[in-house]
Amino acid sequence: MRIKLFTIPNLLTLSNLLCGALGAVAALSRGNLTVAFGFMAAAAVFDFFDGFAARLLRQEGPIGGELDSLADDISFGFLPAAVLYVLYGRSAGGLLPEWAGFLVFVFAACAALRLAKFNIDDSQHTEFCGLPSPAAALFCASLGLLAERYGLAVSREAVVLAAWSVGALMVSPVRMFALKFAHYGWKGNEIRYSFLAVSAVLLAVLQLRAIPVVVALYVFVSLVRWAACRTHSES
């Protein structure tokens, strides 16, 4: 069986991985969390377009799927954990010692588990089981961005709590809505359109400071929706 490695979708996926690697270097070696966030944003763009290109060019296959998860684990697992590690080192002292900064890499482990589960779970075509790794990564990396650009003050305990809480959400059984449209009518897409509208307003008003708020809103709406669905199914 002949396997084509260097297809356009695979090259886009490798660009995602490269951005993740460069972002980790920017954080750990250069201490530049703004640049690290920029590389993560670029990785997210490549992550979106590789799947789009694969469908458009009819080059979908198992290699692309596996490569996508490997790239995502670097860009949306290791990179945000690296940002949190640097942020931990810069945070004001608290009860936790300096060596406890390594605890934030639990986030990277949870991202790997989340991606592995996604690969074999056929129930995640129309919704997600657990918080998607790109959303989790944007939340955590945005804390470093806001601390560096806007002076956001976070304690060591808050950094570790963010890493572990968001990591737990990634591997949780909570069903979260996906921004995938089977059609573009209002009926059936009420949550998606409402979320996008509110997010657009928050981004316009708060700009980059809106990123963690938007992710938190996504989690909140998904939790309410999931609880309502469970209550309805049990009644």
d(CA 85, CA 89): 6
Please give the DSSP secondary-structure letter assigned to residue 188. T
d(CA 137, CA 101): 17
On the CB side of 17, CA atoms within 13 Å amount to 14
Residue pLDDT tens, the chain, 235 long: 566 777 888 899 999 999 999 999 999 999 999 999 999 999 999 998 887 777 777 777 777 778 889 999 999 999 999 999 999 999 877 788 989 999 999 999 999 999 999 888 888 778 899 999 999 999 999 999 999 999 998 999 999 999 999 999 999 999 999 887 777 888 888 999 999 999 999 999 999 999 999 999 999 999 999 998 887 766 6
Domains in the chain, ordered, with CATH?
A: 8-175 (1.20.120.1760)
Enumerate the H helices of the chain as residue ranges. 8-28, 33-57, 62-73, 79-90, 106-120, 133-150, 156-170, 190-206, 211-234
Structure tokens at 204: 């316009």
Contact (CB, 8 A) for 130 and 115: no
d(CA 221, CA 200): 16
Q: What is the pTM of this model?
A: 0.91
